[in-house]
Protein backbone atom coordinates (compact mmCIF):
# COMPACT_ATOMS: atom_id res chain seq x y z
CA UNK A 1 0.00 0.00 0.00
CA UNK A 2 1.30 3.45 -0.89
CA UNK A 3 1.20 6.01 1.87
CA UNK A 4 -0.04 9.45 0.93
CA UNK A 5 0.86 12.67 2.57
CA UNK A 6 -2.03 13.97 4.65
CA UNK A 7 -3.15 17.40 3.46
CA UNK A 8 -5.05 19.57 5.89
CA UNK A 9 -7.64 21.21 3.61
CA UNK A 10 -11.27 20.49 4.39
CA UNK A 11 -13.52 18.35 2.19
CA UNK A 12 -16.52 20.37 1.02
CA UNK A 13 -20.02 19.16 0.30
CA UNK A 14 -21.83 20.86 -2.58
CA UNK A 15 -23.72 23.08 -0.09
CA UNK A 16 -20.44 24.86 0.69
CA UNK A 17 -19.71 25.27 -3.03
CA UNK A 18 -23.08 26.96 -3.40
CA UNK A 19 -22.84 29.34 -0.46
CA UNK A 20 -19.20 29.95 0.50
CA UNK A 21 -16.96 32.74 -0.75
CA UNK A 22 -13.83 32.16 -2.83
CA UNK A 23 -11.60 32.75 0.21
CA UNK A 24 -13.45 30.20 2.35
CA UNK A 25 -13.07 27.50 -0.32
CA UNK A 26 -9.38 28.08 -1.06
CA UNK A 27 -7.31 24.85 -0.92
CA UNK A 28 -10.29 22.71 0.05
CA UNK A 29 -10.97 19.28 -1.46
CA UNK A 30 -13.89 18.42 -3.73
CA UNK A 31 -14.80 15.61 -6.10
CA UNK A 32 -14.65 16.14 -9.88
CA UNK A 33 -18.28 14.89 -10.06
CA UNK A 34 -19.39 17.77 -7.83
CA UNK A 35 -18.76 20.19 -10.69
CA UNK A 36 -21.58 18.63 -12.74
CA UNK A 37 -23.87 18.58 -9.71
CA UNK A 38 -23.12 22.24 -8.99
CA UNK A 39 -23.70 23.30 -12.59
CA UNK A 40 -27.17 21.70 -12.49
CA UNK A 41 -28.11 23.31 -9.16
CA UNK A 42 -26.32 26.68 -9.28
CA UNK A 43 -24.73 27.36 -12.69
CA UNK A 44 -24.07 30.98 -11.70
CA UNK A 45 -21.37 29.72 -9.29
CA UNK A 46 -19.13 28.29 -12.06
CA UNK A 47 -16.76 31.29 -12.26
CA UNK A 48 -16.47 31.45 -8.47
CA UNK A 49 -15.62 27.75 -8.31
CA UNK A 50 -13.01 28.16 -11.05
CA UNK A 51 -11.36 30.99 -9.10
CA UNK A 52 -11.37 29.23 -5.72
CA UNK A 53 -8.16 27.16 -6.01
CA UNK A 54 -10.03 23.99 -5.09
CA UNK A 55 -8.25 20.64 -5.03
CA UNK A 56 -10.19 18.31 -7.34
CA UNK A 57 -9.54 14.74 -6.24
CA UNK A 58 -11.16 11.32 -6.29
CA UNK A 59 -10.83 8.94 -3.33
CA UNK A 60 -9.01 5.63 -3.63
CA UNK A 61 -10.79 2.27 -3.57
CA UNK A 62 -9.80 1.51 0.03
CA UNK A 63 -11.36 4.74 1.26
CA UNK A 64 -14.53 4.06 -0.73
CA UNK A 65 -14.74 0.59 0.83
CA UNK A 66 -14.32 2.04 4.33
CA UNK A 67 -16.92 4.75 3.69
CA UNK A 68 -19.32 2.08 2.38
CA UNK A 69 -18.71 -0.14 5.41
CA UNK A 70 -19.41 2.72 7.82
CA UNK A 71 -22.53 3.82 5.89
CA UNK A 72 -23.87 0.27 5.99
CA UNK A 73 -23.15 -0.01 9.75
CA UNK A 74 -25.06 3.19 10.52
CA UNK A 75 -27.80 2.38 8.02
CA UNK A 76 -27.14 5.63 6.17
CA UNK A 77 -26.21 4.01 2.85
CA UNK A 78 -29.82 4.01 1.62
CA UNK A 79 -29.93 7.81 1.88
CA UNK A 80 -26.60 8.55 0.20
CA UNK A 81 -25.74 9.40 -3.39
CA UNK A 82 -22.53 8.35 -5.10
CA UNK A 83 -21.22 11.90 -4.58
CA UNK A 84 -22.03 11.71 -0.86
CA UNK A 85 -20.14 8.44 -0.57
CA UNK A 86 -17.18 9.89 -2.48
CA UNK A 87 -17.06 12.98 -0.26
CA UNK A 88 -17.06 10.77 2.85
CA UNK A 89 -14.31 8.57 1.38
CA UNK A 90 -12.17 11.60 0.50
CA UNK A 91 -12.51 12.85 4.07
CA UNK A 92 -11.60 9.45 5.51
CA UNK A 93 -8.65 9.05 3.15
CA UNK A 94 -6.79 12.07 4.44
CA UNK A 95 -8.43 12.31 7.88
CA UNK A 96 -9.70 15.68 6.69
CA UNK A 97 -12.52 17.67 8.25
CA UNK A 98 -15.79 17.26 6.37
CA UNK A 99 -17.92 20.36 5.79
CA UNK A 100 -21.53 19.37 5.13
CA UNK A 101 -25.12 20.07 6.11
CA UNK A 102 -26.03 16.47 5.24
CA UNK A 103 -27.02 14.77 8.49
CA UNK A 104 -26.23 11.34 7.08
CA UNK A 105 -22.67 12.38 6.27
CA UNK A 106 -22.31 14.01 9.69
CA UNK A 107 -23.58 10.78 11.26
CA UNK A 108 -20.99 8.67 9.42
CA UNK A 109 -18.20 11.16 10.13
CA UNK A 110 -18.98 11.10 13.84
CA UNK A 111 -18.99 7.28 13.83
CA UNK A 112 -15.62 7.30 12.02
CA UNK A 113 -14.07 9.85 14.37
CA UNK A 114 -13.71 12.41 11.56
CA UNK A 115 -14.12 16.09 12.43
CA UNK A 116 -17.02 17.75 10.66
CA UNK A 117 -18.57 21.18 10.51
CA UNK A 118 -21.91 22.32 9.14
CA UNK A 119 -22.21 24.81 6.29
CA UNK A 120 -25.29 26.66 7.54
CA UNK A 121 -27.18 24.35 9.95
CA UNK A 122 -26.52 23.33 13.55
CA UNK A 123 -25.72 19.75 12.60
CA UNK A 124 -26.44 16.50 14.39
CA UNK A 125 -26.50 16.12 18.15
CA UNK A 126 -25.87 12.34 18.30
CA UNK A 127 -25.26 9.36 16.03
CA UNK A 128 -28.35 7.55 14.80
CA UNK A 129 -28.65 4.11 13.27
CA UNK A 130 -31.12 3.61 10.45
CA UNK A 131 -33.07 0.64 9.12
CA UNK A 132 -35.09 -0.03 6.00
CA UNK A 133 -38.61 -1.00 7.04
CA UNK A 134 -41.97 -1.74 5.44
CA UNK A 135 -44.46 0.89 6.61
CA UNK A 136 -47.34 -1.62 6.53
CA UNK A 137 -46.18 -5.03 7.77
CA UNK A 138 -43.10 -3.64 9.64
CA UNK A 139 -40.70 -6.17 8.09
CA UNK A 140 -37.05 -5.05 8.41
CA UNK A 141 -34.86 -5.28 5.31
CA UNK A 142 -31.08 -5.46 5.06
CA UNK A 143 -29.25 -2.17 4.70
CA UNK A 144 -28.39 -1.55 1.04
CA UNK A 145 -24.72 -1.96 0.15
CA UNK A 146 -24.62 0.77 -2.50
CA UNK A 147 -25.92 4.36 -2.64
CA UNK A 148 -29.55 4.88 -3.54
CA UNK A 149 -29.96 6.02 -7.15
CA UNK A 150 -33.57 7.17 -6.60
CA UNK A 151 -33.70 9.66 -3.75
CA UNK A 152 -36.22 8.52 -1.11
CA UNK A 153 -37.39 5.52 -3.16
CA UNK A 154 -36.17 2.34 -1.48
CA UNK A 155 -38.51 -0.01 -3.28
CA UNK A 156 -41.38 -2.16 -2.10
CA UNK A 157 -41.80 -4.85 0.53
CA UNK A 158 -41.32 -8.34 -0.86
CA UNK A 159 -44.06 -9.63 1.46
CA UNK A 160 -46.89 -7.11 1.06
CA UNK A 161 -45.82 -4.73 -1.73
CA UNK A 162 -45.94 -1.55 0.38
CA UNK A 163 -43.29 1.16 0.03
CA UNK A 164 -40.19 0.81 2.20
CA UNK A 165 -39.14 3.64 4.45
CA UNK A 166 -35.87 4.51 6.16
CA UNK A 167 -36.55 4.76 9.91
CA UNK A 168 -34.42 5.33 12.99
CA UNK A 169 -33.57 2.11 14.86
CA UNK A 170 -34.87 1.93 18.38
Domains of the chain: 11-117 (3.40.50.1010)
Q: With a cut of 70, which residues of the chain have pLDDT below it?
A: 1-8, 122-128, 148-152, 170
pLDDT recorded at residue 54: 95
pTM score above 0.85: no
Contact 67, 85 (CB under 8 A): yes
Distance between CA atoms of 76 and 104, rounded to whole angstroms? 6
**Who's near 14: CB < 8 A, 6+ residues apart?**
34, 37, 38, 41, 83
pLDDT recorded at residue 166: 75
Which neighbouring-strand residues pair with 166?
A: 132
Distance between CA atoms of 144 and 132, rounded to whole angstroms? 8
Q: Residue 158: name the closest of 142, 134, 124 by CA.
A: 134
Distance between CA atoms of 24 and 127, rounded to whole angstroms? 28
Across the chain, where does the E strand assignment appear?
11-12, 29-30, 55-56, 98-99, 116-117, 130-134, 140-141, 164-168
pLDDT recorded at residue 142: 80
Amino acid sequence: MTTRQIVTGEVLDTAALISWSIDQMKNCFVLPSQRDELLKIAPEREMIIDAADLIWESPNDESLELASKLAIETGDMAGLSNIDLGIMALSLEGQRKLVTDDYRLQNIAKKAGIDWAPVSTEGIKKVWKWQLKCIACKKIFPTPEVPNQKKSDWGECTDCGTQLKLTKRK
